[in-house]
Structure 1
């Protein structure tokens, strides 16, 4: 997301001719978009995206279990 945000900002500065990016090459301005694509490809290939999704699901599950334990009067289990 960082590369995408940076790319959008640089693209806007180049298009509106504001600041130093106005004189930069289009390759430099568009490079963050290429880096974002490379990052997403690596994240999908390596399993990083799936691991993060599984971690979020596990945290939601643990929170739901703890809430239910508190509702029935038991102390939630902590590691």
Structure 2
């Protein structure tokens, strides 16, 4: 997502002709979008995106379990 934001910022700066980006070639701007697309393809192909989603879901699940245990007056176990 960060690469997409940077690419959009560079596109805006180039289009509005602001700063040193105004003198850059359009190929640099297009290349940043190409790098973004390459990152997304790699992340999807290797399972990086899915793995991060599962990690977030597991963390939320564990936080919810710990919160419920604290509400019952029990201490949550430390991870092994």
TM superposition score normalised by structure 2: 0.91
The size of the alignment, in residue pairs, is 79
Cα contact 1:21–1:29 (8 A) shared by 2: no
Partner of residue 6, structure 1:
6
Partner of residue 38, structure 2:
38
Cα contact 1:7–1:29 (8 A) shared by 2: yes
Partner of residue 77, structure 2:
77
- RMSD over aligned Cα atoms: 0.9
In the alignment, structure 1 residue 62 sits paired with structure 2 residue 62:
yes
Q: CA deviation at 1:71?
A: 1.0
* Ranges in structure 1 where 5+ consecutive residues have no aligned partner: none
Structure 1: 4+ residue segments shifted above 2 A: none
Higher alpha-carbon deviation: 19-28 or 58-67:
19-28
SS state at 2:17 partner: coil
